[in-house]
Every structure is written in C-alpha cells, then in structure tokens.
Amino acid sequence: MARVVGHTPSWLSAPSPGFNLFQRNPDTKAPSSLRNQLAKAEARGPTRTIAHRGTEVFVLVGNEIRWSDLVSLKDADKEGDNQSYRVLKTPVSTQIKQLVVSPHGDYLAILTDHTVHIAALPDSSHLSVQDASPLRIKTFQLGPTAHVLEQPPVVSAIWHPLGHLGSCLVTVTKDACVRLWELNRDSRASFDEPELALDLKKLANATSADQDFSASKYGTSKGFSPDSVEMEVAAACFGARATSDEHGWSPMTLWIAMTEGDVYALCPLLPSKWEPTATTIPSLTTAVVAKAEVNSQSDPTPEERRIVDQQQRWLADIDNQDPLVVSHIDTLAEFEVYQRPANPPAVPKLQGPFFLNPEPDYDNITDIFVIAPRLDDAALMQEEDQEDFLGHDGLSVGIVCLATASGKVHICLDLDGVEAQWLPSRRAAFRRRFDEEESVSELLLVETLTTPETETSWPTFTSTTTSRYGFFLSTNEGIFNISLESWIAPLEDELINPSDSGAAFRLDVLFDVEKSTVDRILKRTADAGAAPACVSIVDSDLGHFVLTATSSQPQAVILDLPFDRSLYASFAPDEAPLALPAPDLRQPYQPSEAFSASSALPSFLDNAVQRNTQLRKADLKTQVRFSPATLDLLTDAHRLLSTETSRLGAAAADLFRRCERMRAELSEQIRQVDEISKRAEAVTGDDDDGAGDAEQPRLVGKDKIEERMNNARTKSKELAKRVEAMRRRMAKELGGKELSIKEEAWAVEVSALSSSLGETATPSSNDSDASTASLVTDDLTSRLSAINTLQRTLIARANEATEQQKALQPSTPTRPDNTEDQESSQDLSASINRVPADFRKQKIAQVMQLLQRESALVDAVQERLRKLAGLGNLYSSL
C-alpha cells in the first residue's frame, strides 16, 4: 500500500492562489431558487464536484465551474501571482452534482439531479489564467426529452472505454433505463436522441429478442411494477479501463448495482463505432474457440450451444470487416475502428441478478467498482506470437466491490466470468421454456471491509492508475485507501494449480491470514457536510496527488509513487537503503469559514426595514425608541449575532487548543532534544568541566569513546575469565572432567591454523604450546601436500592404463611379410584376452573410487581450512 508522505501543501492553504480556487466569492449572490436547492440538498446520490484532465482541474464552487492547473498554482505561489483560476460559464441553472471528463479530454459531462449537459472543452492553451474574464463554453443539453425534470433522476454518466474518439457516453437513470449516446459536436441530433435506449425492467422479464426493450418516451404513462422498487439503480460502471492486460469481454460489460443489493451485467454493450485494444479481438477469439472445442468434446445443453453459436457469428462478423485506421491527435497513436456486428442484434441479454454467497447483511448500495480479470497470456500465445502480450500479472477472475451507505465494502469474486450473451429468437425461446431453467448467477463474497459509519453519507469509489488492485473510498469520515494486493498472488497460485482435497480449508486460511488493507489517509471535519468524491492525479511534478474539497476548502494527500526495484537493481548497492524518518502525518490547520464569512446583519436590517413599515432606515442610526417593532428587531438581531459570535468563538477556541497543543509538543520535543544532548555529551566527555591533571589528562571526543571501548573490552575479557573459572569449578563440583588431551590438541590446532591462514596468533606464555602448534601446522601442510601429490600420481597412472589398453587392442597388420611382429602381437593380445573383463572393470572402478575419495578429501580439507579461518578471525576479534 502507498505510504502517505504529506498532506495539503502550502500552495493550497490560505492565503495562497490555490486556496482561492475553492473559495466562494462573497460578492456573488446565488439566486433564491438555487439557495433553496442547496438548503434542501440531501445525500441521495453521488457528489463529484472535482474532475481533472491531467493536471488541469475543474472545480465546482457553489454552482460555478472553475478551471485551473495545479502545476501552475504551485508555481504561482512561488512567484506571488494572485490570479489562480478562470470561470467557465454554462447555461446550467439547477444545482450541479457531478462533473465527468471524457477519456480524451474533449467533453465535460455536467450532471444535475435530472439533467445532463455536455460542454465542449477548449484546449488548455485557450484556458489561460492570465485572462481573468469568465469564458463561456459551448454547451449542449443531452436528451431534451429524456433527461428533464419530469423524468427520473440521473444516477451515473460513464464514458465508454471503447468509444470512438472517446465520445461515447452511457447514462443510467434511477428507473433502470440505460441510454448510449454517440456525440458529435457537428451534429446536433447526436445530443437529442440516443443511439441505443434500453429499459432493464423489460430486459429482465424478456424471453426473446423480438420484443420491445426501448426506454419509455417523454409523456408516456407508466404503470406500477414490483421491479420499480427492486430495480432502483444506485450506480453503474464498466468492467475495465480498456488496457492491453485485461480480458476482452470486460471493457464492453456494463455493471449495474441496485439500491436493494442486486447486481446485473450487460455484455456486450457497444456503440456503432468502437475502438478495440491490441489484445481485445485476439483474446475473444481464443476464448470462443476454446469454448467451442470443449462443447464439441462434451454434451452441452441447448442453451450453452446457442451461446457459443451466437458468439462465433458475432466474431465472424468482426473478422470479415475491414477496419478503419485512425490516429488520435493527443497520443499520435493509430487505432482500428470497427463497426458493431449486426448479427446477433445490438441489444444484449441482461445477466443476473448476481446473488452474493454467503449472503451479507444488506444495506443500501451506493457505488460499484469492478476490476477486470487479467489477460490469459498462455492461451493467447497459442495464436499470437507477440512479446508485447507477455508479463501480465494479476488475478484470472474478476473482482466486484460494492459500497454501502453504512460505510461497508463487500469484496466479491466473479468466478464464472461475464461473457457476451443475447436473447434467443422467438422459436428458440419457446423451446427453451420447456427444456431447461435459467441458471443462477453468484458472486463469491470473500471479505467485508468496515469503515466508520456516518449519517447521510453516500460513499463513492475512485480508481487510481498506480495500482490495479487499489482504489479509494470517499465518505463523510474521510478518504480511505484500500488495497487488495496482499491476497491476489496467493489466490492466483491456488487457481492456477487447483486441488480438490483441502481447497476449502486453504481458502479459509488464506482469507483469514491475508486480509485487504484499509488506511484512512484523510480525516474530514465534523461540519464538512456531504463528502464529494476525490480525484487521483499522478504527475512528475505533483507525485501521487489525491485531491478533494470540504466546506469550500481544499484538502489533499500526497502518496509515494510505486517503483520497480529491478530497473536499477544493477546500479544500486546490495545493502538495504537507510530507513527514512516517518513524516508528520498530521493534517495542516485550515482556518474556519467563520473568520472569512461576512456578517448577515446588514442584509438582515435591510430586509427588516422592508418588511416593517413602522421602521425607517434612519431610525437605526438614531436614538432607540421603545416600541414592539424595535423589540422584535433587537430580538432577531440578537439571535443572528449570537449565532455568528458562537461560530467565531468555536473557531477561536479550536485555534487556541491547537496552539496550546503545539506549544506542549514543542516543549516535549525540546526536552527530548536536551536529554539526547546530555547523553551525547556524557559519552564524549563534554559534560565534565574539569581540566584534569598531569597524571590523568582529560579525555574528550574520540579519545573518550576509545577509552570507553577499551574499558569495555577489558571488562569483557575479565568476565570471560570469571565465567571460565566458574565453569571449571562447577565441573569439578559436579564430577565433571577436565578437557582431554585430544580436546586440548584440537584447540591448539585451531589456533595454529588461524596463524597459518594469515592471522596473528595470540602469544602464549607456554613454549611447549607454541612448539606443538608449529608441529601441528607443519603436519597439516605436509598432509595436504601429500594428498595433492597422491592425486596427481593416481591421475597419471589412470591415464597411462587407459592408453595402454587402447594400444593393446588387435589391429590389421600393415606389413604382411613381418611374421615376427605378427606373432608377438598375437601373443600379447592372447595374454590380454586371458584377463577376465569383469576383473578389468573391477580394477578400473577401484581406481576411480580412490580418485573420488581423494578428491572428496581435498574438498573437505579446503572447507575445513575455510571454517577454521573464520574461527581464527573471530578469535582474533575477541
């Protein structure tokens, strides 16, 4: 898990330009309708008031969208520049709840409770903070008849990860209607009508693909249905980020979480033009071909056969296409654009509901976060021999995380996986109705994480690019960094090498020992109100920067960036790095809004004069006249002032307590430093003011430390002698024996070997011991020389015997007239043949065995010499 290295930096604290970015403008008054919305606002949905495009941030202050660059804010604080942001004007009048930036940074989705607006974002070079005037940006209302006040609230707006040019948006409303929009700023019609509109309640009860699944039009009367309560959407997300290390079905799977706890999935949900990654189509082809081979070798059900046939037809349509190659301006990379297959149809089957097993204590679901299964490199390499696909680590099954209103997070495993499924035709649906029943889909609940419970909170997830299995959870209590890394690798080892015997026990032990880590990296104040979701920004200038806002004040956490030690392992030393001191993790003080808020008394007096005709503005500056109207005015003014002064007093008291705590902590630190200083002076001798005398001069610094070390060594030797004397005495009293002659000789031999290996032997007062040590050393040296000589002799003899055996083998005579040589060679070969072959093999084996024994003896002697050298070094150090 990432370590916290700092909190809100100084360039985001008052009175810096970064702090002004999040402050309300006291001169600007919100309309009365908007003030009523803010007063009646409840935590009934997610709040995402900060969005980012790289290091650029879009911040919602009140109902005003502001733009700034965090790197520029950091530099402006150093240069003393007060201009920090620029206001983006939009025609949105109701209270904004969410800001979502498109993948390529071209669009900004602006969500209120019921409406969605799409703003075309200009390039960062046009959003210069040097020009302080507000900038009106081009904005389109999305779905003028679909997302209006009369229609159900909008829950989620997600940019499709495979959308062409990153301009495909999916909106999900509370009544379980999913709409897919393909935006084009040159076509107004693309913002008016969705390319695909689905009613999940109709899909849940559908039996064939011939039915009508479109969402209800504006003005259509709706009847009551039990699904209206059970299928009330809480949040939605896609199953992947469209990277090359994820399974192909994941980025085209839309997960929908209902408030009551049910989870559904739509796969594949694709726009008419989509951009797959480099591994999407190969991984899908590999998975479908493998599944078809399994079905051909077994007896599948009609439903399984139909699913595989539909997937094969779908992929065949993609393979027959000639994709369009386009390049993006921001990345300069080329992508292939495919058309959505027409057969099977574009409407997928609604898979689910997925039941959690074991069933947890259900609470209202607030958000969903899905981690895609990793790409199967081994299966993919059977068809594609590309090194770019290798090195993908992670879990081969998907992970589904559900956040609840009580602050709990359910971690579930999708063991079966979600694949593309479509509804059958009318005839196939009729046959299936009598053949088999629908299978039950389950999610394995492996862990439930608990965070502090708060009222009126809507916990939300935030993904991060630094860790595949890490994410953030934002609640009213703060921001929590959650990491699943601890049990990913052990679980994947269990899945790769399955074993039925004891599998349940091993998994229970795994999840009991290896638990997910939850770390609260930021704590919110009690009066912070509804908690907005945080954003995670990774930049070379900012590091891993987690940003949020509370009560119009920025709060940030800086985490350390993960690094790969293998990148510099060949350059770094083998020693472990020095341990850095723990940073001060206390959050910096943020001044209360009570200090900067303007008093409401002037506006109250103006309103009082307008309401009461008996009062005049001039009367407020003259002598007080006793009347019922004056009494009511004083009473109301006192009530208002008491509230404001109470807030000021509470803020001042908090500041006073912080100052007192800092003074106490500073006094404690001074005391600790003084204590350490005294101890250091006692060690070096600087605490002694005496000048010393001629016999015993004063020792200071290094000499003092060396004297203490010498005294310690002397005392250690004395203690060793006392221990040895005590051991001998105890041995005598308990009937023990003294060291034998062999033991004493072995001790002398160790000392002699130490001196022979280059160590300085300890001088002995006994001359006989010295002579004995020299004899032992000479004896050991002579033994080693004799062993080496014997080894060389045996090797030479073995080589000679081998050459003689080769020379004595019978061969064809070169000169037939030399009869004497023929007879002598025949006699020699006959004498050799008279020696049994077993006897020759036995002798050769004995010679080889002697060689091996001598070699082992030489190795043992060398190893013994090495160990004795270590003992000599240890003895000399003592």
pLDDT by residue (tens digit) across 436-467?
455 678 898 999 999 887 777 899 999 998 88
Q: How confident is the model at residue 790 (pLDDT cuts 50, 70, 90)?
A: confident
Alpha-carbon span 173 to 176, nearest angstrom:
6
Average pLDDT over residues 647-663: 89
Q: Is the pLDDT of residue 529 over 80?
A: no
Q: How confident is the model at residue 431 (pLDDT cuts 50, 70, 90)?
A: low
474: β partners: 460, 479
SS3 413: strand
H helices within 109-250, ranges in order? 189-192, 200-204, 227-230
Alpha-carbon span 706 to 714, nearest angstrom:
12
Percent of the chain topping pLDDT 90: 30
Q: Rounded to 5 degrees, what angle do the CA atoms 649, 655, 661 make?
A: 135
Average predicted confidence (pLDDT) for the chain: 80
Alpha-carbon span 436 to 454, nearest angstrom:
46
Q: Is the pLDDT of residue 129 over 90?
A: no
H helices within 135-226, ranges in order? 189-192, 200-204
Q: Is the pLDDT of residue 388 over 50?
A: no
**What sign does the dihedral 528-533-536-542 (CA atoms) show?**
negative
Instruction: Give the pLDDT score at 526.
Output: 57
Instruction: Give the pLDDT score at 303.
Output: 86
Backbone angles phi, psi at 264, to 5 degrees: -125, 165
Q: Is the pLDDT of residue 508 over 90?
A: no
Q: How confident is the model at residue 734 (pLDDT cuts 50, 70, 90)?
A: low
Q: How confident is the model at residue 563 (pLDDT cuts 50, 70, 90)?
A: low
Alpha-carbon span 342 to 855, nearest angstrom:
78
Q: Is there a contact between 51 and 99 (Cβ–Cβ < 8 Å)? A: yes
Q: Is the pLDDT of residue 823 over 70?
A: no
Closest C-alpha to 475, from 112, 47, 110: 47
Closest C-alpha to 250, from 423, 470, 443, 417: 417
Q: What is the CA radius of gyration of the chain?
A: 42
Strongest mean pLDDT among 170-174, 258-262, 757-761, 773-777? 170-174
In sequence order, which residues have a C-beta less than 8 Å from that of residue 578 and are 6 or more positions away?
A: none
Strand order through the sheet with 334-339: 273-274, 334-339, 324-327
332-336, 699-703, 812-816, 829-833: which has the minimum mean pLDDT?
812-816
**Total residue count of the chain as it appears in this document:** 878
Q: Is the pLDDT of residue 743 over 90?
A: no
Q: Is there a contact between 823 and 831 (Cβ–Cβ < 8 Å)? A: no
33-37, 237-241, 549-553, 754-758: which has the minimum mean pLDDT?
33-37
75-89, 140-154, 536-550: which has the minimum mean pLDDT?
75-89
Instruction: Give the pLDDT score at 523.
Output: 86
Instruction: Give the pLDDT score at 581.
Output: 45
More confident residue, 120 or 551: 120
More confident residue, 698 or 842: 842
Strand 86-89 to strand 135-136: parallel, antiparallel, or no bridges (unpaired)?
parallel
Supply the pTM of this predicted model.
0.71
Strand 273-274 to strand 233-238: parallel, antiparallel, or no bridges (unpaired)?
unpaired
Q: Would you report the helix, strand and coil content of the chain in percent, each value rounded to 5?
A: 40, 20, 40
57-66, 435-444, 676-685, 806-815: which has the minimum mean pLDDT?
806-815
Strand 355-357 to strand 442-450: parallel, antiparallel, or no bridges (unpaired)?
parallel
Closest C-alpha to 778, from 755, 747, 744: 755
More confident residue, 444 or 752: 444
468-472, 705-709, 805-809: which has the minimum mean pLDDT?
805-809
DSSP line for 828-848: HHHHHHTS-HHHHHHHHHHHH
- Express each pLDDT in 202-227 by its tens digit: 998 888 888 888 887 765 656 556 66
